[in-house]
Structure 1
């Protein structure tokens, strides 16, 4: 039963990533090594963030007000992820859709391996069943969509032919991306909601992000023919 639960969790996490890579047609572009490159840049970016956090934001005990400010400042460090994605996109040749998918999938895969593999190996193989691992797996699928959306937003922001008003919208969405986790956690905590409701909120916000980004991308694609 333990091994069966572990296998279900692994499949629930990694099969959507594999299917996204295969069905998106990236394998036809020979994008595998570019995904590896995106993963390596992800690792370097996270290492740089850890050094900054360890240097300027050491763990301490504080009241809620100052802790909220500290969490806000820590979330600001996540802006480095946007820089990392920009570097990934700069090193990928090809059309827009292949660039953003390669960067997004490579980035998301590196994150899910580093953040979920050990958790599942240690936790999901335990003697007792716990829904938390199913929730973490579903959250990983939401993060896959979020990283592809973020990569698309970074690519749109780097375009010089994007209209000024749309670029403002893209910039706001990118900045909000860095603070999205903090804001959603605060919202869920204030509502006193459970883990499943929190997962639903994250999925809905990510879907909204995706629809807005897709609308901007499709409009630009029709104008300059980047499909």
Structure 2
């Protein structure tokens, strides 16, 4: 039974990545190694972020007694803006059509995020003697992260375009900031409501879906206006 649940977790994580790579056209462009390169830049970006966090935001052993430190958490969340710079470097190094660029960057970034933050947790945890629904939640969360990273890559690509309408630039900028501070907003929500993990997962999925749909509408309109598909 444990192996059965472990297989479900692997399927929930692996199948969406495979379907995205296979049926989005990335396999036709031979973008596998570009995804690997995007993952390498992800690793470098995370190391830089860890260095900044360890240098300027050391752990406070005496904190946590007076509630959530909103200012400190906001400053720490600001470091997440480095991901936007990393995605920009990935996008600038990928030739080809726009949809291939953003999908390659998003899938590579999400794949590296999965390997570094969830793979070992699922591999050793979900194969344990006792099964916990926490592993299913992490599997769903990896799918949400895939959509989130592709959305962020699309927004970075739109923001980097010099022919983007000036009326759309503020909207794209706000969406980028929401993507960067989404985890902080989720922490504030959890701290304020003390909700269950399933409700937190549902709220994260709804927020990600709203960001993705809005980004898709902007991208589709922009692509049609300049004649790219």
RMSD: 1.2
Aligned counterpart, 1:98: 100
Between the aligned partners of 1:101 and 1:78, the Cα distance in structure 2 is 20
Aligned with 1:164: secondary structure? coil
Between the aligned partners of 1:141 and 1:29, the Cα distance in structure 2 is 23
Between the aligned partners of 1:176 and 1:192, the Cα distance in structure 2 is 22
Between the aligned partners of 2:32 and 2:68, the Cα distance in structure 1 is 44
Aligned counterpart, 1:149: 151
Q: TM-score, normalised by structure 1?
A: 0.97
Aligned with 1:108: secondary structure? helix
Between the aligned partners of 1:112 and 1:121, the Cα distance in structure 2 is 12
Aligned counterpart, 1:33: 33
Residue 137 of structure 1 deviates from its aligned partner by 0.4
Aligned counterpart, 2:54: 54
Go from structure 1 to structure 2 and tell me whether the alpha carbon gap of 1:65 and 1:185 turns closer, same or farther (over 3 Å shift). Answer: closer
Go from structure 1 to structure 2 and tell me whether the alpha carbon gap of 1:167 and 1:145 turns closer, same or farther (over 3 Å shift). Answer: same
Aligned counterpart, 1:209: 211
Aligned counterpart, 2:178: 176
Moved more, 106-115 or 116-125: 116-125
Aligned counterpart, 1:8: 8
The number of equivalent residue pairs is: 227
Between the aligned partners of 1:53 and 1:186, the Cα distance in structure 2 is 20
Moved more, 208-217 or 120-129: 120-129
Query: Are 1:200 and 2:202 counterparts?
Result: yes
Residue 64 of structure 1 deviates from its aligned partner by 4.0
Residue 206 of structure 1 deviates from its aligned partner by 0.6
CA deviations on 1:14-42 (whole Å, 9 max, x unpaired) are: 11111110010101011111101100000
Aligned counterpart, 2:141: 139
Residue 101 of structure 1 deviates from its aligned partner by 0.4
CA deviations on 1:162-193 (whole Å, 9 max, x unpaired) are: 11120111011111211111111211331221
Which blocks of at least 5 consecutive residues in structure 2 are unaligned? none
Which blocks of at least 5 consecutive residues in structure 1 are unaligned? none
Between the aligned partners of 2:104 and 2:207, the Cα distance in structure 1 is 23
Moved more, 95-104 or 176-185: 176-185
Moved more, 209-218 or 183-192: 183-192
Q: TM-score, normalised by structure 2?
A: 0.96
